[in-house]
Copies of this chain bind each other. A is one copy, B any other.
Amino acid sequence: MEPAAHPGDGTSIAELGESAVLARILPRLRAGDAALLGAGDDAAVVAAADGRIVVTTDLLVHGPDFRLAWSTPFELGWKAAATNLTDVAAMGARPTALVVAIAAPPATPVAVLEGFADGLREGLAALAPGAGVVGGDLSASSVLTIAVTAFGDLEGRAPVLRSGARVGDLVAHAGARGDAARGLALLFAEGTDAAGEPDAARAHDVRKRHPELVRAQLAPEPPVASGVVAALAGATAMLDVSDGLARDARRIAEASRIGIDFDAAALGPDVRVALAGAEDHGLLATFPAGARVPEPFEVIGRVVDAPGEILVDGMAAGADGWDPYSGWDGRAG
């Protein structure tokens, strides 16, 4: 649960200084079960009993990736954890640990970093129990920037790649389809002022009217544990749906040299939003024909012999999705 707002004495990180800021943040985080040596030395030491470690890294930047007028610090921390944990899960691995580097404007209130740390901790506890934050870095920038690197354990299994889908496989999905995009569309339409700038008071109203959709965008709950479930059930390919179902399905189609034919009926009432909507962070996986597809995966299509193609009920679908350079309007908010 998100705690009540911090008393927040308003002290900035510049006033407090790097060491004192770390002393306020680190106690809010758990190092987790895989931490053999946590924060405080030149580097951490993380258990990798499998003899291999899964690694993914991601940057979240104020402006293109989040708006401070819309997201609370807690939600930012939660989302930073959620998106990276899902990339680990998409390999069929169990997330074990994160490192987190933050660059913040010197005037940022320490309470912002405290809220961020709380969101990280609670996101990890909810989505990947046992995983923790083993280290990090604190730096200055005029733009709040968050870099997360996440680690996972394959527990003796082969990683589930994008390249393993075969003609005849079932195509299945776990998680939301379009909710995050609906939440973002609401925030852009109704959470901005007359000049189009993100506005905290208006976003608050949107949040009261559409709590689930706003939450799906700002603090998603992707099916992280389902990555291991899919691997154990024999998934032949898998990825994290971050840029939209059509665009990410095309990545499997290209890597596996197959086509994916979605069932329109399985995509819900708005096929376009289901296919184009970014940032749901569901898992898209393929399973051998006749396999018992495990919950919460739902079969939404099948693999066909049409290399690199995305179809809906047998007809070509447009590719839509997020490119950070063309998709960002230059605003921060």
Contact = CB atoms under 8 A, between A and B. Distances in A.
Given A17-B325, A42-B240, A53 B53 contact: yes
A284 to B, nearest CB: 11
Contacts of A143: 141-143, 145
Contacts of A142: 63, 142-143, 330, 332
A314 to B, nearest CB: 27
Most buried by B among A52, A141, A161: A141
A325 B106 contact: yes
A65 B324 contact: no
A103 B63 CA distance: 12
A168 interface: no
A82 to B, nearest CB: 14
A18 to B, nearest CB: 5
Contacts of A239: 41-42
A33 B119 CA distance: 36
Contact of A101 (B135, B147, B326, B332): B147
Interface stretch (A120-128, A148-156, A203-211, A304-312): A148-156
Nearest to A37: B159
A65 B87 CA distance: 29
Given A52-B46, A152-B43, A139 B65 contact: yes
B41 A45 contact: no
B44 A55 contact: yes
Given A42-B87, A91-B42, A106-B325, A57 B147 contact: yes
B42 A90 contact: yes
Interface in A42-86: 42-61, 63-65
28 contacts: A14-B325, A41-B162, A42-B88, A42-B91, A42-B162, A42-B240, A43-B152, A44-B56, A45-B52, A45-B154, A47-B51, A48-B50, A49-B51, A53-B53, A55-B97, A55-B99, A57-B135, A58-B101, A59-B103, A59-B139, A59-B147, A61-B140, A64-B141, A106-B328, A138-B324, A140-B325, A140-B328, A142-B330
Interface of A: 13-14, 17-18, 36-37, 40-61, 63-65, 87-88, 90-91, 93, 97, 99-103, 106, 134-143, 145, 147, 149-152, 154, 159, 161-162, 238-240, 255, 323-326, 328, 330, 332
